[in-house]
Amino acid sequence: MTAAPPSERADAPIRFVDAHVHHWQRGAIVYPWLAPPFDDDGPNGDVAAIAHDYLPRDHRAAVADWGLVATVHVEAGARADQALDETHWLDALAQAGDGPDAIVAFARLDAPDVAARLHAQAALPRVRGVRQILNWHPDPRRRYAAVDLSRDARWQAGFARLADHGLSFDLQCYPAQMPALAALAARHPAITVIVNHLGMPVLDDPDGLGEWRRGLRALAALPHTAIKLSGLGFVARDWTFERVRPLLEEAIALFGTRRCLIASDLPTDALFAPPERYRDAYQRLTAGLSLDEQRDLWGRNADRLYRLGLDLQE
């Protein structure tokens, strides 16, 4: 790919590995959350604006000036019985030269046949990890999951099986769930845990900021965890850089520049702002870092954690 880098110095352009992308082709796979009727009640709000095909060529156009060199696809909410179909579809795109470089697939870790599901997903060469969204909140309008699986013994047993296949886990949850999940992660140091979307703070909860800080602190204390600097619209749909900057900087301070990954979360994040606003925010965030640290955040950490095998040292 030949797009201009997100920022550069005369001697070293910075290359971008997008650590969190979603593709879908609605004629091939069913995505219940992208089907009408649409409303504003759920945690994503009205998704009608993105309820259309989003393929790799669409993504390259959307981030044409980010310096994109590789992408990590994260499961996109396909109907549960089509999880493996989604992975096969993505792998076929990649084999044809137009697909993601790595895949974080969906698997129900609380399913009775979880071992078979993980075996089938891990057999595909680009699968690097699994995501099962865990977000549960007392307010039904904020829930992604019908029940809180973070303390469920069967789900925790399924999580442990990720180590059998060398798979990482993309963790999307709310801060109140983090202490239990940090304790689980501590028992399984072989499973890399990558926190999604800045930990999704719920700032209008009574102690929302405090819960987020405590939860991230517990996770960041584990050396096999990392965090994605993405999903700014989940902090506030009308986010501004000034509002989210303290949270982004605090996450970097907790995890360090070797365990933070910049990601677009497109097309979902486009519900809240155009891609260039996110690009500008991440450029402003990282402008004061060393060139080496910028390279880590924009690409090298994703390359290492998702085992892409790229050469991003220069």
Torsion angle of alpha carbons 188, 189, 194, 200, nearest 10°?
60
pLDDT for residue 9: 43
pLDDT for residue 1: 34
Please give the Cα distance from 116 to 118 (Å, whole number).
6
State pLDDT tens for residues 265-307. 999 999 999 999 999 999 999 999 999 999 999 999 999 999 9
Q: What percent of the chain has pLDDT over 70?
A: 96
State pLDDT tens for residues 105-144. 999 999 999 999 999 999 999 999 999 999 999 999 999 9
Q: Which amino acid is at 24?
A: W
Count CB-CB contacts under 10 A for residue 241.
15
Please give the Cα distance from 80 to 152 (Å, whole number).
19
Which residues neighbour 311 within 8 Å (Cβ) at sequence distance 6 or greater?
Answer: none
Please give the Cα distance from 102 to 87 (Å, whole number).
10
Residue of 24, 166, 28, 14 whose CA lies nearest to 100: 24
Q: Reply yes or no on whether the pLDDT at 11 is more than 70.
A: no
Q: For residue 41, what pLDDT band results from cuts at 50, 70 and 90?
A: confident
In Å, what is the CA distance from 110 to each residue of 143, 155, 157, 187, 247? 18, 4, 8, 18, 32
Please give the Cα distance from 61 to 6 (Å, whole number).
14
pLDDT for residue 42: 86
Task: Output the pTM of the full model.
Answer: 0.95
